[in-house]
Amino acid sequence: MSFSMKDFSLEGKVAWVTGAGHGIGFEIAKALHEAGATIVFNTSREESMQKGVESYQKAGIKAHGYVCDVTDEKAVKKLTKKIEEEVGTIDILINNAGVIKRVPMLEMNTDDFRQVIDVDLNGPFIVSKAVLPSMIKKGHGKIINICSMMSELGREDVSAYAAAKGGLKMLTKNICSEFGDANIQCNGIGPGYIETPQTKPLREKQDDGSRHPFDEFIINRTPAGRWGKTDDLAGPAVFLASDASNFVNGHILYVDGGLLAYIGKQP
């Protein structure tokens, strides 16, 4: 079968993006919508879900929002069934929901460590497990896990996050290994340092007009010489969600401006 640009189309597909009431998940969901997908998202709280629905409406998108904690297996199973009844079988799952706690390892308590692992690693396992039976029955499916630079690199104060994202990388490879013969592709996207409201304080000029030290650090470590934009994740997400990537499986696509390939500028 020859290649066609239609292979990038997501027309008729249902895409569930977890934790996509705002931020990177919201931007990825918008891209999937532009490619033709029907968008489903969940948040852990009613307030954030309603705000998310409003944000989609302002963007001209009719998104189906639900409240569900991705670490609650019973709730996830119940929601999966509800989505299938109200919207349709899930063709594309984006495991985006996540948390980070920046605490030095010796100061981090075990409960906080477990919470990060629970949301960032157990959550994708639980939601993937819930949607896989219908994907197998349908004969095709796409699972995309939002990994991180910390799937490959360590850094101070993020021991739990790095452990979770490293585990998510390997969960991605294992889902590929177990379900590839069911025509299900599981890949990951590893965003580099992205311009978001959360990272804005790290990019603001100092009082003397100089760059914030962390901003300078990232610019010097990134061959592209800039932070990523949320739009930079749109193309990779659509590609991995579409039939254009049907023989791409178990791969982590790092969207990092070349950071992982580069040792950094000489002082």
Q: Which residues are catalytic?
A: 161
Taking residue 149's Cβ as centre, other Cβ atoms within 10 Å add up to 20
What residues contact 105, with CB distance under 8 A and at least 6 apart?
157, 159
Structure-token pair, residue 197: 């409201």
Distance CA 221, CA 261 (A): 10
Distance CA 3, CA 66 (A): 36
Ranges assigned E (strand) in 154-208: 184-191
Q: Which of 98, 25, 33, 102 is nearest to 62 (CA)?
A: 33
Helix (H, G, I), strand (E, B) or coil at 234: helix
Structure-token pair, residue 168: 């998510």
Residues forming beta bridges with residue 65, ordered by sequence position = 41
- Residue 91 corresponds to which amino acid? D
Do the beta carbons of residue 22 and residue 49 sit within 8 Å?
no
- Residue 88 corresponds to which amino acid? G
* Exposed / middle / buried, residue 138 (Cβ in 10 Å: 0-12, 13-18, 19+): middle
- Give the helix/strand (H/E) hosting 203: helix 200-203
